[in-house]
Amino acid sequence: MKVPPQHSQHERAEELPLMTDSATVADVGHMGHNRTEEVVERVADLLRGRGHDEWVERVERPTANDVDWDELDSLLEDEEGGHERLYTMLSSLKARYDRAYPTLLTARIDVENGFGFTPGQYVTVRYRRTPRPYSVASSPNKDALEFCVRRVPQGRLTTKLFGDLSTGDEVTVRGPNGDFVLEEPSGRDMAFLATGTGVAPLRSMIRYTFEEGRDEVGGDRRDLWLFLGATWKDDLPYREEFRELADEHDNFHFVPTCSREEYLTDWEGETDYVQQTLVKYLAGDAATDLPDEIIEFADDPAYDIDARIVPEELEVYACGVNAMVSRLAGTARTLGVPNEHVQYEGYG
């Protein structure tokens, strides 16, 4: 990513020292829910009356935990032909049932002698001889560093973090690094686009923006948008916090989108990809003359938000897995956001 050299925030990031400090885990928490019972009930509802009543009766017994869920694979094969949506729903629900819990971990770490960084930067955390880079999710105004980590199946570090990390453990923190940082305050509105734990550095940026009054320039308030995508609603990191922030600030608009949640609950929120959801919240005249592959998503938004986005007057910050971030940044440019105001960072 080419970073515009005129941004003093980037200059400040370069001036911060590279350091290695002994740090102590202050708190460990988990986000997300164990939803296996919900999944069983939902699958039973979907299969009831479709010739699979014997399977339904078994999973609804008190000993449902003894049910061989591999049997569902053969039922899925039966449903594949002519019932594409049902097959997709059952496959997604079984994948959710099989998933390890918890999948999201948060950790707050106290660093000796303090630790300076710029919102959006990352550090390298070393635990039990295994280092990994993680974006800082907390504001630099906070005393402790906070991280949000997704479980990686058979991951060298995440296996240790989810299985063993406890309050009081010692870790090594090295950094800060990265030039994915905020532009200087301007009259532009701000759109933050993320998938999953890619929201970590954006949370730092958003918190810092409000704490420092950077959401107001020259007496005019800037609109801040957060478009956050995940598969299930409990895969949305800090979702309740962002909802509370939207209640506190009229100029902060939280737009979560979940691709599979409607398979399990009565989810009435957005369900498209983040870049597709963004198009729904454009100002009317901004949604004209767009490519067909984009304009097809410019339908009615799921959330009642009065504000709208004018791409030419926007700065964008995108973070997530590499393939997705490339699409997010590309869509922003296609919509008309000036290239120099599209900042992005990918991982994985």
Tokens 């004209």 -> residue: 288
The first and second tokens of residue 19, run together, are 């350091």
pLDDT bucket at 319, cuts 50 / 70 / 90: very high
pLDDT bucket at 64, cuts 50 / 70 / 90: low
| pLDDT score for 240 | 96
Domain boundaries, the chain: 14-32+102-177, 36-62+72-98, 189-347
Residue 334: which residues within 8 A CB-CB, separation 6 or more? 290, 291, 294
CATH top-level class for 14-32+102-177?
mainly beta
pLDDT bucket at 1, cuts 50 / 70 / 90: very low
More confident residue, 21 or 85: 85
The first and second tokens of residue 17, run together, are 């020292």
pLDDT in tens, 122-134: 998 889 988 899 9
| pLDDT score for 3 | 32
Q: For the purposes of burial, counting CB atoms within 10 Å of the CB of 138, is it exposed (0-12), middle (13-18) or buried (19 or more)?
A: buried
pLDDT in tens, 244-265: 999 999 999 999 999 999 999 9
| pLDDT score for 73 | 67
More confident residue, 76 or 61: 61
**Assessment of whether the complete model's pTM goes beyond 0.75:** yes
| pLDDT score for 7 | 37
Residue 2 has pLDDT above 50, yes or no: no
Residue 4 has pLDDT above 90, yes or no: no
Distance CA 110, CA 122 (A): 16
More confident residue, 91 or 66: 91
> How far apart, in Å, do the first and last CA atoms of the chain sit?
16
CATH architecture entry for 189-347: 3-Layer(aba) Sandwich (3.40)
| pLDDT score for 113 | 74
pLDDT in tens, 195-230: 999 999 999 999 999 999 999 999 999 999 999 999
Closest CA to 138 of 147, 129, 126, 125: 147
